[in-house]
């Protein structure tokens, strides 16, 4: 099918409308948190806090910056592996994330930081907004190369909204622990994205097949993304954990899990190639699965060896997924998953949710200490064991809620995105920057099918 891909009015109008709406909503609703307000200095005296260091900023800001790098450079460059889709990978990721964080500040703010008529912004809100957008970046990986920037903005608008609802149900209603977002970010993002791409199934996508692969330098650009994700993942999983030991522990566990995951990914990648050669796709992606899969349990007493085991398993599962599952999903289930997010975020996310549920179930006063248990889970001392297994069940429930909302939401959003006026590329022009970007001279000769010059723009 052929659509008009000239976005001259659609993209500007969408961006400007969204941004104007955000300005108005921020004006009505958003103020600073006390820690970012000049009145803090007064409050400090009142509460007898003697050190400026107690400002939440110093507990969270370094982690925030690491997470910020993961969202913009990490996800952006991870997707540049395609030979002719580097501008779009980095650029559209930049666009959707810049919109998404603003919208997430509002949505998450209404649910979690709303007091006396205002949302109060602090550094933790910035981290959570980045997290929320992380789930959109995950879903972007499934539809990469097949959608227009207008579609991405629409998808972001809905996905951030659904994410916030899901997160509210999990964290506030079910009182689930999910600091690194195995459920809220990865499972939700992956199955939402897979559902959307299932609805947007393109039967003639093989016409763009020659561009759905890498060239030498595009793979190196992608490794920049991979490595920044991998290196900063300990910050991701610990960024919003409780101060002190929980944040410390989350970083250690994530570090361990990711290290183990690299070795098993390499092992499987080589074992599954007939000449024992490594595949960059696995190195770029499967090595990260260990970070996804300790997202829930990293701040718990998973133990370093527990983290290694989780990473060990996920490197294997994820690489097997790339080799066997992705082709199966495409040919049998008509799910065209460009970046293989099912292997990097879907399966490891589910594993992470299960690991979290089991680890929470096993919590007891011997391992955590009575004070530690009360502090970490909020359990009262005497009914600990009952609460632990209850917590485990609620954790498991959280997984199912996330999956359900992802699937239902994905269908609805997919249907909306299937409407023919969003400027999506034709099947033979997928994975191609020149549809939406002014190209350097060297590449202008690459002729595209001329759908955008023969058709007249459908709207003003």
In the complex, the smallest distance separating the C-beta of residue 372 from its own copies, rounded to whole angstroms, is 3
Which of the residues 296 through 315 are near its own copies (CB under 8 A)? 301, 303-305, 308-309, 312
Question: Residue 387, Cα to own-chain centre: how many angstroms?
Answer: 30
Distance CA 93, CA 89 (A): 6
Number of chain residues interacting with its own copies (CB under 8 A): 143
Distances (CA, A) of 162 to 133, 138, 159, 183, 189: 12, 14, 5, 13, 10
Q: Residue 126, CB half-sphere, CA atoms under 13 Å: how many?
A: 17
Choice between 220 and 416, CB closer to its own copies = 220
Choice between 111 and 312, CB closer to its own copies = 312
Choice between 3 and 221, CB closer to its own copies = 221
Q: Which secondary-structure segment (H or E) carries 132?
A: helix 123-143
Choice between 206 and 217, CB closer to its own copies = 217
**Nearest to residue 445, comparing CAs of 453, 431, 434?**
434
Q: Which stretch binds its own copies (CB under 8 A): 55-63, 162-170, 192-200, 338-346?
A: 55-63
Structure tokens, 277: 């050669």
Which of the residues 238 through 267 are near its own copies (CB under 8 A)? 243-249, 251-252, 255-256, 258-264, 266-267
Choice between 260 and 355, CB closer to its own copies = 260
Let me know: does 223 contact 74? Beta carbons within 8 Å. Answer: no
Distances (CA, A) of 364 to 10, 85, 198, 303, 383: 56, 50, 43, 14, 10
Which of the residues 6 through 25 are near its own copies (CB under 8 A)? 6-13, 15-16, 18-20, 22-23
Q: What angle do CA 185, 241, 183 make, to 5 degrees?
A: 20
231 binds its own copies (CB under 8 A): yes
**Nearest to residue 297, comparing CAs of 252, 264, 260, 261?**
252
Which of the residues 209 through 228 are near its own copies (CB under 8 A)? 213-217, 219-221, 223-224, 227-228
Among 134, 141, 145, 149, binds its own copies (CB under 8 A): 149
Which of the residues 106 through 125 are near its own copies (CB under 8 A)? 121-123
Among 2, 175, 207, 280, binds its own copies (CB under 8 A): 280
200 binds its own copies (CB under 8 A): no
In the complex, the smallest distance separating the C-beta of residue 1 from its own copies, rounded to whole angstroms, is 20
Among 78, 79, 99, 388, binds its own copies (CB under 8 A): 99
Choice between 331 and 438, CB closer to its own copies = 438
Question: Residue 257, Cα to own-chain centre: how many angstroms?
Answer: 18
376 binds its own copies (CB under 8 A): yes
Which of the residues 25 through 44 are near its own copies (CB under 8 A)? 26-27, 30-32, 35-42, 44
**Nearest to residue 134, comparing CAs of 171, 179, 184?**
184
In the complex, the smallest distance separating the C-beta of residue 346 from its own copies, rounded to whole angstroms, is 23
| Length reported for the chain | 460
Q: Which secondary-structure segment (H or E) carries 237?
A: helix 216-238
- Residue 370 class from Cβ within 10 Å (0-12 exposed, 13-18 middle, 19+ buried)? middle
Q: Which stretch binds its own copies (CB under 8 A): 70-78, 162-170, 354-362, 407-415?
A: 70-78
């Amino acid at each position: 099918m052929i659509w008009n891909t000239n976005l001259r009015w659609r993209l500007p109008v969408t961006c400007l409308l969204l941004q104007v709406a955000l300005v108005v909503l921020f004006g009505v609703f958003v103020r600073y948190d006390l820690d970012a307000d000049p009145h803090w200095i007064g409050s400090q005296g009142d509460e007898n806090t003697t050190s400026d260091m107690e400002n939440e900023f110093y507990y969270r800001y370094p982690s925030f910056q690491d997470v910020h790098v993961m969202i913009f450079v990490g996800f952006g460059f991870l997707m540049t592996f395609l030979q002719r889709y580097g501008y779009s990978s980095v650029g559209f990721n930049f666009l959707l994330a810049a919109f998404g964080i603003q919208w997430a500040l509002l949505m998450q703010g209404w649910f979690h930081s709303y007091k006396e008529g205002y949302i109060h912004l602090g550094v933790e809100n910035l981290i959570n907004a980045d997290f929320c957008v992380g789930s959109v970046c995950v879903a972007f990986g499934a539809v990469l190369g097949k959608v227009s920037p207008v579609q991405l903005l629409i998808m972001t608008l809905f996905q951030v909204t659904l994410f916030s609802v899901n997160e509210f149900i999990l964290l506030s209603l079910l009182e689930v622990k999910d600091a690194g977002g195995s459920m809220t970010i990865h499972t939700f993002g992956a199955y939402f994205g897979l559902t959307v791409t299932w609805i947007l199934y393109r039967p003639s996508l093989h016409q763009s097949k020659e561009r759905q692969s890498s060239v030498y330098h595009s793979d190196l650009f992608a490794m920049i993304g991979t490595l920044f994700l991998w290196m900063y993942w300990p910050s991701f999983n610990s960024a919003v954990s409780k101060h002190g030991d929980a944040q410390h522990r989350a970083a250690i566990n994530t570090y361990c899990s990711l290290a183990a995951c690299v070795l098993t990914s390499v092992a499987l990648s080589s074992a599954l190639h007939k000449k024992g050669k490594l595949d960059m796709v696995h190195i770029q992606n499967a090595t990260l699965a260990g970070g996804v899969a300790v997202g829930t349990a990293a701040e718990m007493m998973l133990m370093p060896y527990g983290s290694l085991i989780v990473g060990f398993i996920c490197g294997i599962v994820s690489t097997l997924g790339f080799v066997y599952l992705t082709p199966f999903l495409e040919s049998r289930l008509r799910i065209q998953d460009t970046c293989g997010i099912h292997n990097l975020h879907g399966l490891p996310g589910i594993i992470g949710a299960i690991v979290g549920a089991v680890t929470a179930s096993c919590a007891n006063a011997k391992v955590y200490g009575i004070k530690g248990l009360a502090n970490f889970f909020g359990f009262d001392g005497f009914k600990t064991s009952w609460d632990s297994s209850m917590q485990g069940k609620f954790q498991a429930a959280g997984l199912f809620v996330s999956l359900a909302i992802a699937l239902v939401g994905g269908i609805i959003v997919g249907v909306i995105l299937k409407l023919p006026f969003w400027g999506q590329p034709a099947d033979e022009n997928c994975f191609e920057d020149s549809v939406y970007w002014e190209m350097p001279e060297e590449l202008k000769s690459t002729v595209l099918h001329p759908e955008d010059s023969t058709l007249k723009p459908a709207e003003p």
